[in-house]
Each structure stands twice: as structure tokens, then as C-alpha cells.
Chains A and B, each alone.
Chain A
Amino acid sequence: MNPVRFSWSSRSGRALVFQAALLIVLVVAGWALWRNTAHNLAARGIRSGFAFLDQRAGFDIGEGVVPYTPDDTFLRAFAAGIANTLRVSLLGILLATPLGLVVGLGRLSRNVLVRTLATVWVEVLRNVPLVIQLFAWYLVLTQLLPDPASPLVLAPHVYLSKGGLQLPMPVLAGGHLALERPEVTAFGVSGGLSLTPEFLALLFGLVTATSASIAEIVRSGVLAVPRGQTEAAAALGLPHRRVIRRVVLPQALRIIVPPLTSQFLNLTKNSSLAVAIGFPDVVSIANTAINQNGQALECILLIMSVYLTINLLTAAAMNVYNRRVALVER
């Protein structure tokens, strides 16, 4: 190894000086911001640190899978919010992927009607802001649907109303599996699995909007498969559907998976728009907490670390999958 020479005329010497200067600037800027913040916090009488997580939250959360009451701690409130974020994101990914696949293949269909409809779907959803879509879905679900006392019956024991969607839910009763069916009463629908309008609007908005982006990825992935592959398969006498299923899709998948991963992450990040329509995801919970105790720095750090963790885990999982579909080369 060559000894490092501190000389302005050598590239490594200049690089070292430049990096030292950058380090000093970063440290000084960080220190100044830290000092300002400490000063401002003291001036406003805001405490700092994560001790507040053990205190009583005092606000209510509309829904969730984590049991929670206003008497629980902030920590538990955040846990409930994280669970809600994960619930809507996972379900969204599960629904948006097949929908996007269908729309993407529809964009490539030889049937002109199917193709046009898929194109309209993609263009409308991609060129209108997601916030607008979410507000509109939420208002449609909470204003235009019938009252809970006289809900729409979508299927036997599946009810849709201003109160949300009620579905039969499998429950363990006396050691064996039973189906708990919701029933219409004078005060609305009771029993079964109940999904709130906030959850439904967010899920619906995320699924439709993401399906449009996934469709574009599927389309460009399929188009990237050389024509010769399709033609050779057709020449072997394979019917069109099997050409798609056996020849085109397996090869397109390799191109599709990496951008698909970033769409999954986009959907998860976009679920933070829940705060606009009042679904209690982790961002909404943090927003409420900030309004209560003013500890913005801690709450924002919490949200950021939640999303960064989700990002890292998703990226890791998709890398494993990507390795499985990737071309095995000798």
C-alpha cells in the first residue's frame, strides 16, 4: 500500500482535503441545528426524549387489530398504527398485483375493446393525484351509500352501507370452526367482520392506483421479451394463451420483479395518505401525538424508522424471490 501523501498536487491529497472540509461543514451544520432545536424546545417548554411513549395516550383510535383503549400508552397507540399500516399495505399488495397483471395484459390484448378499456384505466388513474382519488372514494362511500339500517346486499350476508362493509367471518366457537354472519338490525348491521369506510376508501384507492402502475410494468416487461420467442412458440403450434403462460410470462417476470418491488414499496408509502381521510395508520397516530404533546422530532423519527424498516424487509424478501426467478447461468 502506498503511503498517503498530503500534497495539493496529487488527486488523493486533494480528495482528502475536500472530504475533511465536507466533514467539518456537516458537523458544524449538525451542531448548529441541534443547538437551535434545543434552544427552541426549551423556549416553548417542550420536553424531549422518548419517555412519552410510556405515558397515557388519551386519544381514541377508530379501528385496528391491536386491542387499544384511550387509557393505553403512546407506545401501544403507535403499535396499533403500525399494525393498521401493515394491514392495509399487505392487503393492497395482494389485490393490486393480480389486478395490475390483468390490466397490463389487457393493454396488450389483440381485442381492441379490451385494449382501449385497459388504456383508459391506466391513463385516468395515473394522471389524477392519489389524494384526489382517495378524497373522492371516501366521500362516495360515506355520502352516497345507503344508511346502515338499510344496506346494499352484495351477496348473502355481505352488506355495504355508509357504515362500511360487513362480511361473514370464520370464528372458533366451542372448539370447531363456525361462520359468524352479520345481520341487519334496526340500528345497522351487527356481527361478522366489519371494515370501516376509511379502510375501504384507502384500500380501494391504493389498489386501483397501484394496479395502473403495475400494469405499465407488466406491459413493458412483456414487450421486452423478444418477438422471436413468441413466434417460435407459435410456430411450434402452442395456442396463444399457452404461449403467454409458458414462454412470455416466465421471461417477462425477470424484467418485472425489480420495478414491481418498488411499486409495492410505493403502495406502502402511499398508505400514509390515510391521514387525509382519517384512517388511523402510523402517520395519523403520529400526527395526533404531535398535536397533543408537541414532540414532533421524536414522532417523525418514529414514522421514518417504521417506513425504512418496512423498506429494508420488503427489499430483502423481494431479493430472495428475484434470485429464484432470475436466469440461472452456467
Chain B
Amino acid sequence: MSAPASDRPGGPAGEREPPPPRRGIVARLRQNLFATVPSAVATILLVAGLAWFLPRAVRWLFLDAVYAADYPACRALDYRAACWGFVAEKHRVILFGRYPYAEQWRPLVATGLFLLALALTAHPRAWRRWVAAAWFPVAVIFLLLLRGGVAGLAPVDPSAWGGLPLTIALTALVVAGSIPLGVVLALGRRSRMPLVRGVSTLYIELVRGVPLITVLFVASFLFPLLLPQGLRLDALARVALGMTFFQAAYMAEVVRGGLQALPRGQGEAAEALGLSWWKVQQRVILPQALVLVIPSFVNSVLSTFLDTSLVTVVSLYDLTGALRLALGDPQWRNFFLEGYLFVGAVYFAFSFAMSRYSRWLERHLGRWVRV
């Protein structure tokens, strides 16, 4: 293709190659930063703003900051720089909440195990049937480590669970519970039976129409009233159940997206073969529909993860609640900005990783799984 186009036999006369792309730093700068007058103005304003802001931010955050848990040194800073000493002093409370201090290795090991299992099964190449089965013991060990009462571990009441392990446990419980419920609701919404369709649609739309906080209110105020006397659920179980009911409505819409993307012929062909409705869904429709929605599924895990921060409103000490617990110390309460930056960074790290993972799956899933 390097020959001029006009030399090609049959090519229209006078057609020329496009000009070669401009190379070199100056040309690239001009293209990227000073292409037009408004672009140049924006560049100059932003460079000026960043030149003012960035050095100050770096000095406040890192260079002038106090890293040791040294209260007088932090006090002496008088807010002119960050006091990471607060995080150094309180990191155990922030990360583990009210979990007994001496036993905090247990949630640490449990979280480590969970994240390791997550990392090992993240790649589609690891998606085998036995891997799904291997997740079950991981979940059991996670909960047993936290709960104790076996193998000589001191029992720890769920009301004392807190921090990052609680955030992770809550996310995992809610996701695990909302998948089956969501699949049932999605199939129900597409059912040919008017009552089934009506009930599913009503449930999904009602739940999606109200804020999560009302569902948490239902969980903490109403569940105790709805249950028969004598049967009591602890706060964590109630909140997990409430969030599962909430998330199931969103999960149903994710699954419905996959069901709608399948050509009608799939279901019709399976029916024509004489398969029952259940067999059609189980063997033909769901395996294809669920694979299609894996990236949106990861996004919905992500939003559940971020949503768990709301449980602090109904007095559970998840990562957010644990930070507020740590800020309850009158000596350190003035260093809230450092605390929120730290916890925000933890949330960000998990959330950003998940959103990148979802985007990566969206692009490359087809390589390992038939989409």
C-alpha cells in the first residue's frame, strides 16, 4: 500500500494517500493539547490549576505528613499536613471493628483466604464445575473462623463482627442469596402465566422504586414484628436478608437482560424436541443467558459491595461504621479527613479492581467461554 494510489490500475486519477501522521513531541503536544483555541485555553487553565494544587496536595498528603501514631506531633501540625498517625493508631479498629483484639488474626486469615480464592477463580480458565464446589468449603471456613466455637476457637457473636471482613461477608452473603432469587424472579417476569408474571413484575418494580435505606428499615424495624414470637434473628442476619431481597430485584433485571438477548428459536427448538419447561430453562436457556450477563453480574456485585456501607445507618460496624467507631475517640476525632481518605481508598481499590475486571471480561470472555 506504499505506492501512490494513482499508480494503481483502475484507481481514480488524482486520489492521494492521506498525509502521514505527524510525529515528534512538539507535533503530538500540538495535537493533544493545543489543537484549537478553546483547547489551548483549557490546557493553560488546567496546567495553572494543577501547578497550584498538586504540589500542595502532595505536601499535605505525603511530604509534611506525620506517619507515626504520635498525638502531640499530629496536634502540632495544626491541619497543615495529614496525620496518618490516626490510621496507624486505629487501623485495627477501622479494619476489624469491635472484634475481640486478641482474636483479630481470625478475620484477617478468613479475609486473606477469601481474597486468595477470589483471585484464583477470577480467570475464566478456572471456571470448572469442581471450582464452584470448592467455593463452598471456603465460605464455611470463612464463617467458622469468624464465628468460632469449633476447634478450640473462642466463640465470637456476630454482633461483634466488624470492619472489612464484615463488609466482605455481607457482600458475599447478599450476592449468593440474590442469584437464585433473581433467576426465579427473572423467569417469573417472562412467564406465560399471568399471576406469576404479575407477582414477579410487581415485586421487582416495587423494590427498585424504593431506596435501599427503607429496605434496611424494614429489616431492622419490621422483621422482628413479622416473625413469630420466639423466633429471633440477629441484626446481621436481618440486614443480610433484607439486602438480599433488595438486590434480588436488581439481579432479576440483569438476568432478564440475558434472557432477552437469546434468540426465541433457542427455547422453541428445545420445546419442539419435547423437553419440559423446567428442562428447557435448565439445559438450554439459563446456561446461555447467564454466561451472557457475567460482566453485568460483576457490576452488580460491585454495587452491592458499595451499598453495604449503608448498614452503618442501622448500627452495624462494617468498614464505614468501624471508621466512625474509631473517630469516636475524642483525642483523634479531628483527623477525620485522614480516616475517610484511608477508608475511601480501601473501597476504591476493591471497587476499581472489580470494574476493570468486568470491563476485561466484557471484551475477552468469548475467548474461553462460548458467548
A positions within 8 Å CB-CB of B: 15, 18-19, 22-23, 26, 32-33, 36-37, 39-41, 43, 109-114, 117, 123-124, 126-133, 135-136, 139-140, 143-144, 240-241, 265, 269-270, 272-273, 275-276, 283, 286-287, 290, 296-297, 300, 303-304, 307-308, 311
**Among candidates B211, B218, B343, residue contacting A283 with C-beta atoms closer than 8 Å:** B211
Partner of B225 from A22, A297, A307 at Cβ < 8 Å: A297
The distance in angstroms between the C-alpha atoms of A143 and B336, with both chains bound, is: 10
From B348, which residue of chain A is reached at the shortest CB distance? A127
Q: Find out whether the CB atom of A132 lies under 8 angstroms from the CB atom of B211.
A: no
A132:B214 contact, CB within 8 angstroms: no
Pairwise interchain contact A269-B211, C-beta atoms closer than 8 A: yes
Is B260's CB within 8 Å of the partner chain A?
no
Cross-chain pair count, CB within 8 angstroms: 157
The reply to whether A296 and B222 contact each other, CB–CB distance below 8 Å, is: yes
- Complex contact A128–B320 (CB within 8 A): no
B371 at the interface (CB under 8 A from A): no
Cα–Cα distance between A138 and B39 once the two chains are bound (Å) = 35
CA distance A192 to B31 in the complex (A): 49
Within 8 A of A (CB), among B268-298: none
Majority SS of interface residues in chain A? helix
Query: Is there an interface contact between B355 and A127, defined as CB atoms closer than 8 Å?
Result: yes
* Chain B facing A: main interface SS: helix
Cβ–Cβ contact B320 & A132, under 8 A = yes
Query: With contacts A36-B225, A131-B320, A296-B222 known, is A275 near B195, CB below 8 A?
Result: no
The answer to whether B6 has its CB under 8 Å from any CB of chain A is no
Q: What 1/0 flags go to B80-107 for Cβ under 8 Å of A?
A: 0000000000000000000000000000
With a cutoff of 8 Å between Cβ atoms, the chain A residues found around residue B352 in the complex are: 123, 127
With contacts A22-B199, A240-B36, A283-B214 taken as known, whether A15 is within 8 angstroms of B193 at the C-beta atoms is yes
Q: Tell me which residues across on chain B come within 8 A of A143, comparing CB atoms.
A: 334, 336
A103 CB to nearest chain B CB (Å): 13
8 Å CB contact of A111 from B39, B213, B227, B307: B39
A286 CB → nearest B CB, Å: 8
- Residues on A with C-beta less than 8 A from B79 are 144
Contacts of B229 in A (CB 8 A): 36, 39-40, 43
Residues of A within 8 A of B212 (CB): 269
Q: Would you call B109 an interface residue if the criterion is a C-beta within 8 Å of the partner chain's C-beta atoms?
A: no
- Measured CB to CB, the nearest residue on chain A to B313 is A276
| B227 to A, closest residue via Cβ | A36
Q: Quick one: which of B42, B199, B217 contacts A300, CB cutoff 8 A?
A: B217
| Chain A residues, CB < 8 A from B225 | 36-37, 40-41, 296-297
Chain A residues with Cβ under 8 A from B312's Cβ?
A: 131, 276
Answer yes or no: B192 CB below 8 A from chain A CBs: yes
**How far apart sit A282 and B237, CA to CA, in the bound complex (Å)?**
27
Q: Which residue of B lies closest to A268 (CB)?
A: B211
A113 touches B43 (CB 8 A): yes
In the complex, what residues of A have CB within 8 A of residue B47's CB? 113
A29 to B226, CA, bound (A): 11
Give B310-343 interface residues, CB cut-off 8 Å to A. 310, 312-313, 320, 324, 334, 336-337, 340, 343
Known A23-B195, A127-B355, A131-B312; further 20 A-B contacts with Cβ < 8 A: A19-B193, A19-B194, A22-B195, A36-B226, A37-B226, A40-B227, A111-B35, A111-B42, A128-B351, A132-B320, A133-B344, A136-B344, A139-B340, A143-B334, A144-B79, A269-B210, A296-B221, A300-B222, A304-B209, A308-B210
Contacts of A43 in B (CB 8 A): 229
Q: Whose C-beta in chain A lies nearest to the C-beta of B353?
A: A127
Report if B306 contacts A (CB, 8 A).
Answer: yes
- Bound complex: CA of A241 vs CA of B42, how far in Å? 15
Q: Does B60 contact A (CB under 8 A)?
A: no
